[in-house]
Structures are given as structure tokens and as C-alpha cells.
Structure 1
């Protein structure tokens, strides 16, 4: 679907928004506006990463918008984000995307109609700012998810699904952080000398803020995974320690039982009247002695 958001008869530029075009619509747009075939091929790739390219007659930008709804096991670029292609000249801006995108009407009402966009560069800056802003809400959600896993890890009994959830959470943070890192060049190109103003600096500030947030989330996730394995190792050591204590108690008792379990005919203690009670008392004394020793050493 091809929609004209801003017409050149009313505004200093023309803004055309294209949603999930078919082959005929793509051909029409490419021929009418002189778009290079390689740019269209890049847009058609579902998992293409952010890029900024000066084709000559126009500037071609691919930006990734964070998806509104993300599954709990989503961990790829295509699953976490939607692709937006921007074609920019001095006369027009074309935005192309596969899924519905509600930002054009908001930008038109709040920025273009308020005369905050005097040329296409400022318009594209607002579009990119709107795209970057989509990463803010997911960062808050990721922060809450990390806090949830921290609480379950330290305060509650760990479940088998905890490690799986940590994996997918770390993957979401890592992929989103990588997309933001690759978007750095686009933000830089919007805030170059000659075009830098309050609006482009706002975009840069928002980008830097979210970049730092996702860097922190990534560090927290790595730390959380390390803590998970440390706790697992600690609890394993605790189990081994308890089993070792039990084995130390039973080791001398097993030795005594083994001695008197041998089938020799001439063992001297076999005919003693008080042999059995004596051995039982000896075993009890050994057990008590080991307990006292462990207690004094602080092992119990």
C-alpha cells in the first residue's frame, strides 16, 4: 500500500510511506523515483542489519524498529525487530516497511505540522528518533525480567527452566544491543556539522542513553549467568560436603564390620561373651568421636 503522508504542494518536501508493497508497486516506485535495484534487494532481505549508504542521487538507510510483541524465546534479528527502509533526497522521503507502522501520522502531526521539519534531513532525523524510541519500553521490560531471574536465583528454589529463560533473555539483550551499535553510523550522519541542531542532538542523546542502557543490561546479564553457575557450583559443593561427612562417619564402621565379617575359623574375638556389645559400644564411641572432631573444626 502506497500512501502520501506529506504532499509537496503543502509542505517543503514529499513524504511517501509504503507498507508491504507487491512487485508491481515496487516497480512503480523504483521507476518513478529512480531507486537503484541493489537498494530494493537490500530492503527485501528480512534480516538485513542497519546501514547508511550514499547511492549518489539519494541516501539509502536501513533501520531496525523494535517489535511491539516479542515471544519469550525470540532471539534473532528478524524476530526482535522490523526493518524500515528510508530513501532520502532534497525533494522527497520514501519509507518502506513490511508491517504496520503508526509513527508517520504522529510525526506529521507533532513535528511536520508544527514546522519543526524544514527539510528532508530534519524529517529523516525525526523518523530515526522515533525508531530509536521503540527500544525504550523493551529496555524496561528486560530490566524487570533480569530482576525476576535474580529473585528466583537467590531467594527461591531454582527450576530447570531457569537456565533456559536466562539464555533467551541474554540473547534478546545481545541482539538488541548489537542492532543499536550498528545504528551508530546512521545517527552520526544525521548530526553532522551543517545539519546539527537541537532536534538532531536530541536524537543523538536518546541514542546514547539507550545504548548505555543496553550495555548495562548486557553486563548485568553476563554477571547474572556467571552468578547462576557460581551458585550451582556452590550448591554442588555443599551436597558433596554432606556426602563426604556421611562417608567419614561410616568408613571406620564399615572397616570394623568388614573385619568381623571375614569367614576365618580361628578369629580370637568370635567366642567372646561380650564381643557383640563391645563392638557396638566401640562403633558408637568412634561415631561420637568423629562428631566431636568435626564440630570442633567447624565442619558441622
Structure 2
């Protein structure tokens, strides 16, 4: 466990990284924080929430914390959380993963704990920008692969991971937006809060488009696959239609009967060929007329 403490003009910031339960209880003992809040702060996969308890407001936000191309499909593997405990003169942040933006903020100055918290939240939500853009680019690539290339194919496995990633990010942002709507801040911080809300809404709209595109691409892929199967079946049916009557004729004259009058015809062989060719021509023009070929 590591922790950092800094005193600003009117409040104090305590940042705690990777604590065990006993260590966290020891550090926060002077503040008399409810043990249930500390348990929530340590829970790895907890979704964004807001809860008031005594003098403290307890808030959880999650930041996207892996490379966009990694194939993960759970909230805990795609993101990591920061738990905030905030009151008039204190801000406590608790997290398991180190965040670079927290280290940068240690050198800056803030007038109140709300301003610091909103800055951290903004930086956390900005971590969704890269995966959102990456997913949008991937949907564009998939569409080009299907519609612009002659034998375009998309990986259903990768499309599944991309859609799952977009759905999870969308859910996290929706929970974050709900928390932001419940958050009451000082008048001087309202503008910052509104900027954060607008960023979240923008990402959510982009992810909605990604999810819709992924579903459309999947449906198109299924349709194209079915069409290819239909084309193969159509080709086999046409071949069968040509060869079925010819096979019947050959089968008849291949039977081992002692007396078959046609076998004694001098031109029987050529007549049989003419009949088979004539049947093939008739079938071909019939298919042509029906626009089967």
C-alpha cells in the first residue's frame, strides 16, 4: 500500500493506493467512516454509485484501464475504479490501480475538494475517449470489408468482442451519468460538472452508434453467408436438373436385358446422344426463360 497526503488552503487530500482492509481502516480511523463504505471502496468490480453517510459523500467512478484491442468482456477487466470520500474540508481517494493523472494532480492547486474531485472524474471519463474512437474505427473497417471488397469477410469472434466492449463501456457511462445527475456541487463548480456530463453523453451517443453498427454488420454478414449458401444450392440444383433425365436414359440402356430392340438399331447410339443433347438444350432455355441462369 502507498498513500499520499497534501494540504491545500482550505482542505486536505488523502490518496490511498492498493490498500488492504486493515490498512484502510487504520488510515481512515480518524474520520469515523462506516465500514460498509470501506468495503465498497475495496470491492474490485463495483459499479459507479453515490451514497451519503454522515458528513461524507461516498462516490465511485470507473476509468477504462486496458488497451482498446484487448479482448475482455467484463467490467472488472476493462476498467478500474476510484472511490471518493468527500466532505467540506477533506477528500479521500481510494484505488487499486495507479493512475498517471493522479500523480500530475499532486502538483496542482485547488480551492476546494469538489474542484479536485471533478478534475479527477473528468480525467477518468476521458480514458473512454481512446476505446470509443478505436471501436468506431473498427466498425468502419468492418463495413468497408463487407461492402467494398469482393470477397469481404469479417471475424465474428472479433465483432463479438468489439460489441461486448462497446456495451460494457456504454453501461459504465450510463451509471456514471446517473451519479453525475445526483451530484450537487457549489455554484462555482457547476460549469465543470456540466462539461463532464456533456462529455459522457457524447461518448454514450458514439457507443450507441457502435452497437447499432455492430448489429447491422452481424446481420449483413449472416445474410451474405446465407446468400452464398443459396447460390451453391442453386448451382447444385441446376446441375441436378440437367443430369437427372440424362442419367435416367443412360440407366435404362445400361440394364442387362437379353432383348432390347433399340440396341439393334444401326443409328441407335447417335439417336440417343441427340435425344440427350436435345433435352439439355430444352432445359437450358427453360431455365433461361425463368431467369434461373
Question: Is TM > 0.5 for Structure 1 vs Structure 2?
Answer: yes
1:204 CA drift (Å): 1.1
Q: 1:96 to 1:156 in 2, by over 3 A?
A: farther
1:226 paired to 2:219: yes
Quote the residue 2:133 is aligned against.
Answer: 140
Quote the residue 1:244 is aligned against.
Answer: 237
Partner of 1:197, secondary structure, is: helix
- 1:1-300 matches, cutoff 5 A: 1-4=2-5, 6-7=6-7, 10-70=8-68, 72-107=70-105, 113=109, 117-154=110-147, 155=149, 157=151, 162-190=155-183, 197-300=190-293
1:82 CA drift (Å): 0.9
How high is the TM-score relative to the length of structure 1?
Answer: 0.89
Partner of 1:82, secondary structure, is: strand
Deviating more after overlay: 253-262 vs 236-245: 253-262
Task: Give the distance between the partners of 1:102 and 1:11, measured in 2 at CA.
Answer: 24
| Paired residues of 1:191 and 1:200 also in contact (CA < 8 A) | no
Partner of 2:266, secondary structure, is: coil
Cα shift readout 1:44-77 (whole Å, capped 9, x = no counterpart): 2221111111122311111110014255321111
Deviating more after overlay: 11-20 vs 255-264: 255-264
Task: Give the distance between the partners of 1:21 and 1:128, measured in 2 at CA.
Answer: 21
Deviating more after overlay: 95-104 vs 149-158: 149-158
1:106 CA drift (Å): 3.6
1:270 CA drift (Å): 2.1
How high is the TM-score relative to the length of structure 2?
Answer: 0.91
Task: Give the distance between the partners of 1:193 and 1:293, measured in 2 at CA.
Answer: 82
Q: How many residue pairs are counted as aligned between the two chains?
A: 291
5+ residue gaps, structure 2:
none
CA RMSD of aligned residues (A): 2.2
Cα shift readout 1:214-244 (whole Å, capped 9, x = no counterpart): 1111111111111111111111111111111
